[in-house]
Chains A and B, each alone.
Chain A
């Protein structure tokens, strides 16, 4: 597949300061995203997996310039999104949108659906009249599996799955090219998750979208993604085509993650790798390879030297001294 790069991220870093004491002096940093490089090809879905606190949401938001980076660059079609002036950034925002995890807190309860979805159209001056806005909103609601009469209802009148559809409609109404979906199905019931994932797949086909699909649900990521990046403590430890990654994980962390997926087939009990201990604090990461305290294969070199994130074969990247 020779798709064009829509996003190229180089050494992107985002640290959050920890303030403490009387004068709120900065006493340390949470290394949420720690020199991450990756590229997203147009028209494909990039899955981003990792455990809570690994920095996957921060990476997604920093890429969209919703958080300003500590260092590094993010090129959208060759343009660094951090170097743009306010006006060009505003133009760019139409092309990059985000879908949030929690459809309960990401919709303003005081606005009705028409206002929520139509707001972006008004802000960007895409529609010139009220009737035009309404027409566009009704159309996009229909595309997202809602009915036109929903336009005058408020978020509390909808179920979780329907609210997520509103969130998707809001992202889609500007006709974007790139969407960061930040755990879009995590707070939904199983039967509704499948509805939303199928909807996202259909929309991708219909509008030629590119997704960055952030999730901790490894089986859903496998289902929806073409490529997958695995994050651990702010760093990407492995990046590969979905099929290869799940068939033969290279990094020990990926291997453990995949072996930990509970399978539906009770006959095929597989060998499970149980990682010891918890994820270390991103404020005080371990020396050398961040994963070494939990890694079943760690040896002396892992404690002192940080492995380089490098190309292993073809389109596979990983950072591990074993490779």
Chain B
């Protein structure tokens, strides 16, 4: 049977991106460019989500879906391989991007050249989806570049001073990272002579660990820049602050998720370097602590959210670094949750920006009376990210704490708990200065955000509550992915087919 769902999930947004300008040109004659482009993007992303979801039943049944491009068999041709881990990340990427597409319908209403925005949005999605589904290392690099270049362009989309500054910073740092990845891949190819991840995994096992340190370090640095691991985070606060809020949500929810996936896949499943875990745990700890401390002092909501996003990546790295089954489970669960509540919070910030025109905490206040729904949704997101019990953040953070104690690193867990309290502190500060307190006179006539923007936010908030009340549901969703990480030989066997 020919396995088409993986390639469809990549081709849909890729061709959609190139069709968008053509459709825009045609629909411009009927003066419906905005609506047609927007809904076209929504349709494509939802179709992609359904395609990914259609693979669910088979993969959760323990199968690995392999698609061979052009019919070439693995060590020579490019393969797309989907196991439990790929599927989880693909679901997150597709879900976040379709919600962002719906949100953009109204949010980007005041901007010109909406067709280019939609095309770039679809390209970022195509890149992230490609990273997620491919089984070939160089192919992963190419999709990584597609995702990165389009996200640089999206960050600088409005071409104002702030977005251009953030865009060029992101671009210089990001391109350095991707060239390091290319160098790492070149070194690996020189050593092993193969580019299929499964084949590399098999052959790297026979090479002395000391020989692969340099490519491993290059790849980890490259992916580390994409997930804004401290000390490689310099681009993140600027980019998240200056990008349109819908794009901040996409960056936090989809591209960092794809970057972290690449990190897990390459380090654990290709190099089999479980010994690197301790370094990850330490980096995770530093990222978590510094991210939270810097978030405390921010006066701009989106910048605060950016630092909090860095801090949450620290939690995920920490769990990944423990290298145990429970650690992976907690991390992947937190990765899912992080995509949910971080997208929600950035969308709330976007709603405020849309109605008020600023996200500076000093200039806001008392908006709870004007925007009660946004206030409620922001509160749900903020409590979830701080790990308050009935919400989803609690379940995943708790799993990470327990994993730390079981792995004999109770100190790490203790610091993580303290940072969780700090997270609550800066989010309470944000809630207080935006929605409570004195309302400045000029904010008296602010209205509630439009329903099209509220809809994706509500959906995310409901997910926060559902995954919090029924954590076993989330664990069930994550368990196949965690099983896939532990089952390296199964992946190799499935992709290479016993060659």
Do A and B come from the same complex? no
Taking Cβ atoms with an 8 Å cutoff, the residues of B that contact A are none
